[in-house]
Amino acid sequence: MDLYTEGDPIADTRAPDGPIETRWERRRFEAKLVNPANRRKMTVIVVGTGLAGGSAAATLAEQGYQVKSYCYQDSPRRAHSIAAQGGINAAKNYRNDGDSVHRLFYDTVKGGDFRSRESNVHRLAEVSVNIIDQCVAQGVPFAREYGGLLDTRSFGGAQVQRTFYARGQTGQQLLLGAYQALERQIGLGNVEMNARHEMLELIIVDGKARGIVVRDLVTGEITTEFADAVVLASGGYGNVFYLSTNAKGCNVTATWRAHRKGAYFANPCYTQIHPTCIPVSGDHQSKLTLMSESLRNDGRVWVPKAKGDNRKPKDIPEDERDYYLERIYPSFGNLVPRDIASRAAKNVCDEGRGVGPGGLGVYLDFADAITRLGRKAIEAKYGNLFEMYERITGEDPYEVPMRIYPAVHYTMGGLWVDYDLQSTIPGLFVIGEANFSDHGANRLGASALMQGLADGYFVLPNTVANYLAAGPFEKVEASHPAAVEARRDVEDRIQRLLAVNGDRTVDSFHRELGQIMWEHCGIERSEAGLRKAIDEIRALRAEFWQRVRIIGDADGLNQSLEKAGRVADFFELAELMCIDALHREESCGGHFRAEHQTPDGEAQRDDERFAYVAAWEYGAEQPVLHKEDLKFEYVHPTQRSYK
């Protein structure tokens, strides 16, 4: 293809071999340790205070390292993780319904459409059981059943009930747990917390990540910060689509800046479109709202059987309704994975059977569950979600079915990391949604919280020691040429943005970029569409650098300047996402290429040619593709079926 070049293959040299159940234990045993007296002498920078970064910073400090923590919010506990609603998976098998570490491993590899690493996923399933114990010990108020045991519910892509939850606020409760652990360490003086600071550049000295450049978002001051290792826990990049369920601040800057400095970016095109979001209601909107997947435990998804049937839902008799997920996928029904449910919703809407304004919606109906369980039981499980829905739409979901439609929600792609969660830059570790590691081409519901906390509480604190055992490294001063250059780059870039002084707002560019991405790199992609998108993105980016208007200056709080820097990075990422989507001539998980589908419209993988992780190296002219082959010894790739 004319858009990239191909480089050498890449391998995960940290991944142990041998029986899969023993690999993590072996890696932990073989990894070097740092003795407690030496830990005090070493500093780790952690960018991000969500579930991944908050848990990592607290745990590293608890171990005795000096930690410097950064987030752009006014408080670490406002990280986007707080928005997570539905739950967190763990292979506890409290229900005695056939769950096990192996089953969670199997479901995740299959759910990711055989595009993730077996070793990583097995470790995730193993560690999942410890997470629940850790959080319960911290006092996280998980829902309990009548007898006092922890309650669980179902999530997509699984036939067991392994999802632990705290009503529809699981992320908030888990984050409060991590935040308290972090605060304890802040209080003890082991964590230096820097809220309202944005990382704008990575500092590399002698080939190692040794620091970051940050901007104080309140005063505008730019400083250089140093450490023995840097951890990025900066979340996902779904906001490249402008409209998404992510918090408005979510962005790609931290990982993109590291990418430009040499960290490979893996599988950027793998985006998760969540099937149950409140539909777009007009072009005034700046974000979309998720209705948690947990609702599909009790809600039934349907559309009218007849095209253009615009009667009120209650006037449509049972035999004129199409409960299409239950019909097409009888074994998993309403709980098929997200990629499958999203495409099915799009298909029925494309057939003209969608409901609500513009025909872009399907019903999620609780009438049966309310009759069966009573309104009180539904209120107890989902009350806050129902209230949120009513406030936004003005409709009472206890009385009329919710209307939902797919929306961008999560990004499986991210910086490439090895089994130790280390990127291609030594000393730069990446955790949580910011890395690409465990979910392949489609993440199962309730597995992001699991991965973020697995990385932060259990994996990174072990693997980072292996790297730090060679430290402490020589001290770096702010006068070091690498630090001076990184800082100057940040200052120049801010001045370049301000100097444009054009006539279009940052948001108008971001919205237009999002429209291009949604149309051509969203639920369905095609060669012609992706090529068109690349041309349009390039043209829009050129216009951005000529016409963007940023009000105010760099010497204080300036949200328009903050947004401009993030949107500038989104432009570059968007192009790479389209190139990645274009080169992957197959459909897998959330990456659905119109040209590659089975006769009944399911994703058609090409394991011969594409069973690899696409790790992209930054190139000033063109990106360079490095392939990491995926091997499947335990879960053999088959056509994924939920029928």
Ligand X SMILES: Cc1cc2nc3c(=O)[nH]c(=O)nc-3n(C[C@H](O)[C@H](O)[C@H](O)COP(=O)(O)OP(=O)(O)OC[C@H]3O[C@@H](n4cnc5c(N)ncnc54)[C@H](O)[C@@H]3O)c2cc1C
Tell me which residues are annotated as active site.
Answer: 338
Shortest gap between Cβ of 526 and ligand X (angstroms)?
A: 27
What one-character DSSP code corresponds to residue 547? H
Nearer to ligand X, 49 or 119 (CB): 49
Q: Summarize the chain as % helix, strand, coil (round to 5).
A: 40, 15, 40
Per-residue binding string, ligand X, 3-42, x by CB under 6 A, is ----------------------------------------
Shortest gap between Cβ of 443 and ligand X (angstroms)?
A: 8
Nearer to ligand X, 234 or 424 (CB): 234
Binding region for ligand X (CB under 6 A) out of 67-75, 93-101, 357-365, 459-467: 67-75
Strand blocks (E) in 474-581? none
Nearer to ligand X, 322 or 455 (CB): 455
> Of the candidates 24, 46, 48, 263, which one interacts with ligand X according to CB under 6 A?
48
**Cα–Cα nearest to 524, from 580, 590, 441, 605:** 590
Instruction: Decide: is 84 part of the binding site for ligand X (CB under 6 A).
Output: yes
Side by side, which strands form the sheet with 191-194?
A: 191-194, 66-70, 43-47, 229-232, 428-430
Residues 6+ away with beta carbon under 8 Å from 19: none
> Of the candidates 4, 39, 59, 86, which one interacts with ligand X according to CB under 6 A?
86
H or E element: which one contains 28?
helix 20-30
Instruction: Decide: is 432 part of the binding site for ligand X (CB under 6 A).
Output: yes
Residue 100: Cβ-neighbour burial (10 angstroms; 0-12, 13-18, 19+):
middle
What part of residues 437-476 is at the interface with ligand X (CB under 6 A)? 446-449, 452
Q: Give the chain's end-to-end CA distance (angstroms, integer).
A: 37
Instruction: Decide: is 85 part of the binding site for ligand X (CB under 6 A).
Output: yes
Nearer to ligand X, 233 or 498 (CB): 233
Binding region for ligand X (CB under 6 A) out of 73-81, 183-191, 302-310, 521-529: 73-81
Binding region for ligand X (CB under 6 A) out of 84-92, 219-227, 358-366, 371-379: 84-92
Shortest gap between Cβ of 117 and ligand X (angstroms)?
A: 18
Instruction: Decide: is 49 part of the binding site for ligand X (CB under 6 A).
Output: yes
Shortest gap between Cβ of 409 and ligand X (angstroms)?
A: 6
Shortest gap between Cβ of 104 and ligand X (angstroms)?
A: 13
What one-character DSSP code corresponds to residue 504? B
Distance of CA 636 to the CA centre of its chain: 26
Q: Beta strands 197-205 and 362-365: pairing type?
A: unpaired
Q: How far apart are CA 254 and CA 231, in angstroms?
A: 10
Instruction: Decide: is 52 part of the binding site for ligand X (CB under 6 A).
Output: yes
Is the Cα torsion angle 496, 501, 505, 511 positive or negative in sign?
negative
Nearer to ligand X, 430 or 615 (CB): 430
HSE-CB at 353 with a 13 A cutoff on CA atoms is: 19
538, 593 Cβ separation under 8 angstroms: no
Nearer to ligand X, 170 or 462 (CB): 170
What part of residues 272-311 is at the interface with ligand X (CB under 6 A)? 290, 292
Q: How far apart are CA 635 and CA 110, in angstroms?
A: 8
Residues 6+ away with beta carbon under 8 Å from 202: 209, 211, 212, 213, 230, 257, 258, 261, 263, 425, 428, 486
Shortest gap between Cβ of 445 and ligand X (angstroms)?
A: 6
Instruction: Decide: is 79 part of the binding site for ligand X (CB under 6 A).
Output: yes
Which residue's beta carbon is nearest to the bound ligand X? 50
Q: How far apart are CA 562 and CA 198, in angstroms?
A: 9
What part of residues 251-270 is at the interface with ligand X (CB under 6 A)? 253-254
**Cα–Cα nearest to 2, from 606, 583, 593:** 583
> Of the candidates 157, 177, 235, 589, which one interacts with ligand X according to CB under 6 A?
235
Binding region for ligand X (CB under 6 A) out of 75-83, 261-269, 399-407, 541-549: 75-83
> Of the candidates 45, 60, 83, 124, which one interacts with ligand X according to CB under 6 A?
83
Following DSSP, what letter does each residue of 240-289 receive, concatenated?
A: GGSSSSS-TT--SHHHHHHHHTT--EE-TT-EEEEEEEPPP--TT-S---
Instruction: Decide: is 433 part of the binding site for ligand X (CB under 6 A).
Output: yes
Shortest gap between Cβ of 78 and ligand X (angstroms)?
A: 8
Nearer to ligand X, 81 or 120 (CB): 81
Nearer to ligand X, 362 or 448 (CB): 448
Per-residue binding string, ligand X, 125-164, x by CB under 6 A, is ----------------------------------------
Nearer to ligand X, 48 or 529 (CB): 48
Shortest gap between Cβ of 46 and ligand X (angstroms)?
A: 9
Tokens of 40: 């005090």
Instruction: Decide: is 245 part of the binding site for ligand X (CB under 6 A).
Output: yes
- Applying CB under 6 A, what is the total number of residues that bind ligand X? 45
Instruction: Decide: is 198 part of the binding site for ligand X (CB under 6 A).
Output: yes
Residues 6+ away with beta carbon under 8 Å from 402: 278, 291, 295, 299, 363, 364, 365, 366, 389, 395
Q: How far apart are CA 343 and CA 321, in angstroms?
A: 19
SS3 of 583, please? helix
Q: Where along the sequence are the contacts to ligand X (CB under 6 A)?
A: 47-53, 70-73, 79-81, 83-88, 170-171, 198-199, 233-236, 245-246, 250, 253-254, 290, 292, 409-410, 432-434, 446-449, 452
